[in-house]
C-alpha cells in the first residue's frame, strides 16, 4: 500500500486529503478542510497565505496521525497568483488576489505594446485581466513597484508553499502555462515577451514536470507536523485543473470535461495546442496538462456567482440553505431569466443578486424576484455557457465529443448536472467531486512506482474507485437555443 497526502487548494477552501493506493484502487480521507478567500487590506484584496500554510500543516499533522507514515506529499492550487521573495527567501508581503481591481485597464495597455496575435502565438493563453502577465504590469505601475524592486524570485502559489515545505524553488509547468508568460510550444519561459514589458526573466524558477521529485520535507516541517523520515515532495499537476483532468474517469478519447468549482473550466484534452486566429478570437486557452497533454478550454465564471449570492444573503440575515434552494429552484420554470455568467460585472465580489438583476434588466428580461429564481437563473445560465463553450471547443479543435464529464464540487449539484446534459444534448457523467485530489494522488503514486501506465490507465483506477452518476439529456434543444440568444444578445464576443 502507498499512502500520500494531497494538498488541494481552491479559491474558497483548502483540503489535505490522505490517499491510499492498493490493488489498483484509490481511497480518500479528508484530513483537514479549511476556509479560504480574499482579505481586503485598505483597497487591495489579498490571500491570507499564513492561514493557508497553517491549514496545510494542520492537515499534514492529522494525516500523519491517521496513517502512521506518509510516503509523499503533492500540492495543487489555483492559477496566476504569486508570491515575491527577497534575496534571503523571505516573502515580500501577502500575495494579491486575482480578483483585485489593480488590473483594470492593464490588459489593454499591454496589447498596445505587444499585439494580441503575437502574445497568443507564443503563449496560447486566453486573454483574461487576471493573468500573471497583467498582474505584474499592474504591480510595476502601482503600489506593488517597491516589492518588485526588492524581489529576487517569483513563485506561483503551489510553488511558494512547496518552497516552504522543502526549500526548493521551482515552477511546475502546468501552472506556469496559465501565466501568459510561457512559450507553449517550446515549453520554456517566454523571455522576449517578458522583456517587452519590463518583467525580469531571472524572477522565474526552473521548470519541472508532473512526477518530478522537487525535494524532501524540511526538518522544521517534520517537527511541526509530527511526521518522520525522508518524505519527498513530488510535483503533480499543480494547477488544480491539471490534476482534476487526470481525475476525469473517461473511458475513451471522445470526452469533454467541466471542472466545476468557483470557476468552471470547460474543454477537451488534446495532443497539440490550437493557435489559430479563430481560437484566439474565441478566447480559448491552451494550458499544459500531465503527460504532455494540452488542456484546450475556456474559463466560465462558475459557482462563484452562487457562492457570492449565498454570502450576500447570509450577511443580510436571510435564510440561505443551499439544498432547499436547489430543491425550490428545480420548480422554477426554465429560462425565466438568463445572463452571460462571464460578463465583466460578475468578476469582483459584492452584492451579486443585484448585479444579476441589473443584467436581466439590461437584457430586457424580468428580474428574478425570489432566492430560488436567482439560483435557477444562475444554473440555467451556467448550463448555457457550458453548451456554448463545448460547441466552440469541438469546432475549433476538431475533437468530437460524445460524453461530458463534470468533476469537482459541481458534480454534487444534481440540478446543474441535469441542466448541463439537457443544454449540451449529451450524457453527463458526474464525479468524482474530489477529482483534483485524486489526480494529485495518482501522479504521486505513479512517481513512487506504486502503479504504472498512461493517463488511460490512471483514469481506469478512478472508474474502479469512485461512484459515478450519469444524467441523460432530454433531447429537446429548442428552449436552450432561444435562451442562448437572449443571454448573449447584447454581446458581440464569441
> How many whole angstroms from its chain centre is CA 287?
11
Q: How many other C-beta atoms can be found within 10 angstroms of the C-beta atom of residue 177?
A: 28
The residue from 240, 340, 342, 422 that is catalytic is 240
CA distance 457 to 250: 10
Per DSSP (E only), the strands in 217-336 are 232-234, 255-260, 264-270, 285-288, 294-300
CA distance 226 to 217: 12
Take residue 171 and report the three cell numbers written for it: 515552477
SS3 8: strand
> How many whole angstroms from its chain centre is CA 494?
22
Residue 2 bridge partners (DSSP): 21
Per DSSP (E only), the strands in 1-126 are 2-9, 13-22, 25-35, 38-41, 44-47, 72-76, 82-85
CB 237 within 8 A of CB 246: yes
Q: Is 240 a catalytic residue?
A: yes
CA distance 323 to 206: 46
CA distance 161 to 174: 16
CA distance 113 to 102: 19
What are the catalytic residues? 240
Amino acid at each position: 500500500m502507498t499512502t500520500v497526502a494531497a494538498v488541494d487548494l481552491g479559491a474558497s477552501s483548502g483540503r489535505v486529503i490522505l490517499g491510499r493506493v492498493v490493488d489498483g484502487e484509490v481511497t480518500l480521507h479528508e484530513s483537514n478542510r479549511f476556509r479560504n478567500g480574499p482579505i481586503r487590506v485598505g483597497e487591495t484584496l489579498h490571500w491570507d497565505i499564513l492561514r493557508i500554510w497553517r491549514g496545510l500543516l494542520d492537515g499534514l499533522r492529522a494525516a500523519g496521525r491517521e496513517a502512521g507514515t506518509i510516503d509523499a506529499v503533492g500540492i495543487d492550487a489555483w492559477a496566476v497568483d504569486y508570491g515575491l521573495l527577497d534575496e534571503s527567501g523571505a516573502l515580500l508581503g501577502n500575495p494579491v488576489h486575482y480578483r483585485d481591481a489593480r488590473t483594470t485597464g492593464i490588459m489593454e495597455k499591454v496589447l498596445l505594446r505587444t499585439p494580441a496575435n503575437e502574445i497568443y502565438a507564443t503563449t496560447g493563453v486566453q486573454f483574461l485581466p487576471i493573468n500573471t502577465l497583467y498582474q505584474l504590469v499592474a504591480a510595476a505601475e502601482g503600489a506593488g513597484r517597491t516589492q518588485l524592486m526588492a524581489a529576487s524570485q517569483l513563485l506561483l502559489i503551489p510553488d511558494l508553499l512547496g518552497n516552504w515545505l522543502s526549500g526548493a524553488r521551482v515552477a511546475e509547468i502546468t501552472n506556469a502555462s496559465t501565466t501568459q508568460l510561457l512559450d507553449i510550444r517550446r515549453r520554456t519561459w517566454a523571455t522576449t515577451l517578458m522583456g517587452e514589458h519590463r518583467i525580469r526573466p531571472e524572477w522565474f524558477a526552473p521548470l519541472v514536470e508532473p512526477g518530478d521529485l522537487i525535494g524532501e520535507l524540511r526538518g522544521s516541517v517534520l517537527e511541526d507536523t509530527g511526521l518522520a523520515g525522508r518524505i519527498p515532495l513530488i510535483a503533480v499537476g499543480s494547477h488544480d485543473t491539471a490534476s482534476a483532468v487526470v481525475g476525469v474517469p473517461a473511458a475513451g478519447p471522445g470526452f469533454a470535461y467541466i471542472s466545476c468549482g468557483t470557476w468552471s473550466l470547460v474543454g477537451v484534452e488534446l495532443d497539440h495546442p490550437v493557435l489559430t486566429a479563430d481560437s484566439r478570437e474565441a478566447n480559448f486557452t491552451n494550458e499544459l496538462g500531465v503527460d504532455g497533454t494540452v488542456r484546450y478550454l475556456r474559463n466560465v465564471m462558475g459557482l462563484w456567482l452562487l457562492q457570492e449570492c449565498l454570502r450576500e444573503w447570509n450577511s443580510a440575515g436571510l435564510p440561505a440553505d443551499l439544498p432547499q434552494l436547489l430543491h425550490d429552484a428545480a420548480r422554477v420554470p426554465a429560462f425565466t431569466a438568463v445572463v452571460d455568467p462571464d460578463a465583466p460585472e460578475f468578476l469582483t465580489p459584492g452584492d451579486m443578486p443585484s448585479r444579476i438583476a441589473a443584467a436581466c434588466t439590461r437584457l430586457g428580461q424580468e428580474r428574478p424576484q425570489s432566492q430560488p429564481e436567482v439560483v435557477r437563473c444562475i444554473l440555467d445560465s451556467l448550463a448555457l455557457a457550458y453548451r456554448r463553450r463545448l460547441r466552440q471547443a469541438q469546432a475549433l479543435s476538431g475533437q468530437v465529443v460524445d460524453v461530458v464529464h463534470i468533476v469537482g464540487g459541481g458534480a454534487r449539484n444534481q440540478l446543474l448536472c441535469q441542466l448541463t446534459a439537457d443544454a449540451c444534448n449529451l450524457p453527463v457523467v458526474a464525479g468524482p467531486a474530489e477529482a483534483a485530489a485524486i489526480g494529485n494522488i495518482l501522479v504521486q503514486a505513479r512517481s513512487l512506482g506504486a502503479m504504472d501506465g498512461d493517463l488511460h490507465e490512471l483514469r481506469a483506477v478512478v472508474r474502479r474507485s469512485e461512484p459515478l452518476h450519469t444524467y441523460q439529456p432530454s433531447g429537446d434543444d429548442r428552449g436552450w437555443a432561444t435562451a442562448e440568444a437572449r443571454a448573449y444578445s447584447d454581446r458581440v464576443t464569441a
